[in-house]
Amino acid sequence: MHLIIANKLYSSWSMRPWLVMREIGLEFEETVIPLRQPDSAERIRAFSPSGKVPVLIDGDVKVWESLAIISYLADKYPDKPVWPDGMTARAHAKSIAMEMHGGFMPLRMACPMNLGKRFAAPPMTDDLKASIARIEEIWRDTRARFGATGPYLFGARFTAADAMFAPVATRLDSYSIPVAPETRAYIDAIYAHPSFVAWRNAAFQEPWTIAAYEEGLTEIEDIRAAARG
């Protein structure tokens, strides 16, 4: 299997299937194509019909879009724990994953993913507040129903639902957004997960930066520079 992704520092959509593939123990090749480079579009088009990443290539099969890749993996490996056990839990997990895939644009626009820096909170518009409140509601309610056995949305096991929301957790953290204690606990669980740690450490070693993701807000801390020593 070959997964084509963008900068680990910035690409939330690339992170999602990568985390799932790591979590279920798949061996795969990865190619990082940095965005906003002179040849980025051409290089991505060589793999992706949509001109976007991530893209998974598995023999003659080509799958693009994060959630489609995750769905393909679940179909190909029904014995692997991509989604939580039980029809009710799986239905809930897929529903919140789809809601994440298509929603929360105020947060996504105001707080682009940047794993390497911590910023002051952006202006808290009503739309942004509503997005954050809904995210916290999803996490709180899901954990109340299904998460009693561990720190993740469905308990002790990290699932595709957690992978879908992991970049959301980084946005809340990176932009110093005030959240409830139980929300903070879930963010901390994501940050401590071994696959997320591996992704983030690799992101800190990337040589590329994108000015649009680095500027425009009050920077509090350059985490990447500190990590490099």
Query: Among 21, 22, 23, 29, which Cα is nearest to 76's?
Result: 21
Q: Are residues 24 and 39 in the same domain?
A: yes
**Same domain, yes or no, for 9 and 98?**
no
Q: What is the pLDDT of residues 88-124, one digit of tens each?
A: 999 999 999 999 999 999 999 999 999 999 999 999 9
Q: Are strands 29-32 and 219-222 parallel, antiparallel or unpaired?
A: unpaired
In a domain, 130, yes or no: yes
How many CB atoms within 10 Å of residue 145?
13
pTM beyond 0.85: the answer is yes
pLDDT digits (tens, 9 = 90+) for 16-41: 999 999 999 999 999 999 999 999 99
Residue partners of 92: CB distance under 8 A and separation at least 6: 142, 145, 146
Query: Are residues 11 and 72 both part of a single domain?
Result: yes
Please check whether residue 218 lies inside any domain of the structure.
no
Q: What is the domain extent for residue 62?
A: 2-80
Confirm whether 205 is domain-assigned.
no
**CATH number where 58 lies:** 3.40.30.10
